[in-house]
Amino acid sequence: MTAANIYERHLDKGRANYTPLSPLSFIDRTAQIYPDYPSVVYGARRYSWAETYARCRRMAGALVARGIGKGDTVSIIAANIPEMYEAHFGVPMTGAVLNAINTRLDAPIIAFILNHAESKVLLVDPEFSGVVKEALTQVDHDLLIIDIEDDSYEGGEKLGALTYDALLAEGDPEYAWSLPGDEWDAITLNYTSGTTGNPKGVVYHHRGAALNAQSDLLDWDIPKHSTYLWTLPMFHCNGWCFPWAMAANAGVSVCLRAVRAEPIYAAFRDEKVTHFCGAPIVLNMLANAPEALKDFDQKIKVMTAGAPPPAAVIANMEGMGIEVTHVYGLTETYGPSVVCAWKDEWNEKPADERAALKVRQGVRYTALSGLMVADPETLEPVPSDGETMGEIFMQGNVVMKGYLKNPDATDKAFNGGWFASGDLGVMHPDGYIALKDRSKDIIISGGENISSVEVEDILYKHPAVMEAAVVARPDEKWGETPCAFVELKHDAQANAAEIIAFCRDHMAHFKAPKTVVFGPLPKTSTGKVQKFKLRDQAKALG
Mean pLDDT along residues 304-332: 85
- Identity at 338, one-letter amino acid code: V
Domains 259-439 and 442-540 share a fold: no
In this model, does residue 196 exceed pLDDT 50? no
In this model, does residue 1 exceed pLDDT 60? no
d(CA 243, CA 528): 22
Write the CA distances from 483 to 26, 316, 334, 437, 530, integer angstroms: 48, 26, 32, 15, 14
Which tens digit of pLDDT belongs to each residue from 66-107?
Answer: 999 999 999 999 999 999 999 999 999 999 999 999 998 889
Determine which of 45-49, 281-285, 376-380 has the lowest per-residue pLDDT on average: 281-285
Res 491: pLDDT: 87
Q: How far apart are the first and last CA of the chain?
A: 78
Which tens digit of pLDDT belongs to each residue from 396-426?
Answer: 999 999 999 999 999 999 989 999 998 889 9
Q: Would you give the distance in Å from CA 332 to the centre of its chain?
A: 11
d(CA 495, CA 513): 13
d(CA 30, CA 189): 25
Query: Class of the 442-540 domain?
Result: alpha beta
Mean pLDDT along residues 351-358: 85
Mean pLDDT score of the chain, rounded to an integer? 92
For a pLDDT cut of 70, what percent of the chain falls above it? Answer: 94
Write the CA distances from 395 to 25, 38, 184, 315, 373, integer angstroms: 25, 36, 16, 32, 12
Res 233: pLDDT: 93
Write the CA distances from 34 to 28, 59, 283, 497, integer angstroms: 10, 21, 33, 60
Mean pLDDT along residues 237-257: 98
Mean pLDDT along residues 303-322: 82
373 and 382 in contact (C-beta within 8 Å)?
A: yes
Which tens digit of pLDDT belongs to each residue from 436-473?
Answer: 866 667 787 865 668 788 898 899 999 999 999 999 89
d(CA 144, CA 492): 51
CATH 3.40.50.12780 holds for 259-439: yes
Determine which of 3-7, 103-107, 247-251, 412-416 has the lowest per-residue pLDDT on average: 3-7
d(CA 429, CA 64): 54
Mean pLDDT along residues 492-521: 91
Mean pLDDT along residues 205-209: 98
pLDDT band at 195 (very low <50, low <70, confident <90, very high): very low
pLDDT band at 15 (very low <50, low <70, confident <90, very high): confident
Res 440: pLDDT: 67
Give residues with Cβ within 8 angstroms of 316, minimum separation 6. 283, 284, 287, 288
Question: Pairing between strand 363-364 and 201-205?
Answer: unpaired
Res 55: pLDDT: 98
d(CA 469, CA 452): 8
Res 452: pLDDT: 84
Per DSSP, what are the bridge partners of residue 382?
A: none
Give residues with Cβ within 8 angstroms of 128, minimum separation 6. 77, 78, 103, 156
Determine which of 190-194, 361-365, 429-433 has the lowest per-residue pLDDT on average: 190-194
d(CA 148, CA 125): 5
Residues in the chain, how many?
A: 542
pLDDT band at 3 (very low <50, low <70, confident <90, very high): low
Q: What is the dihedral of CA 5, 9, 13, 14, to 10 degrees?
A: -20
What is the CATH code of the structural domain delimited by 24-214? Answer: 3.40.50.12780
d(CA 101, CA 76): 6
In this model, does residue 309 exceed pLDDT 90? no
In this model, does residue 13 exceed pLDDT 70? no
Domain boundaries, the chain: 24-214, 259-439, 442-540
Res 511: pLDDT: 87
For a pLDDT cut of 90, what percent of the chain falls above it? Answer: 74
d(CA 119, CA 98): 9
139 and 111 in contact (C-beta within 8 Å)?
A: yes
Which is higher by pLDDT, 532 or 500?
500
445 and 510 in contact (C-beta within 8 Å)?
A: yes
Which is higher by pLDDT, 310 or 465?
465
Res 191: pLDDT: 95
210-219 core/surface letters (b: 16 or more CB in 10 A; e: else): bbbbbbbbeb
Question: Pairing between strand 335-339 and 322-330?
Answer: antiparallel
Report for 207-211, 352-356, 506-510: range of highest mean pLDDT = 207-211
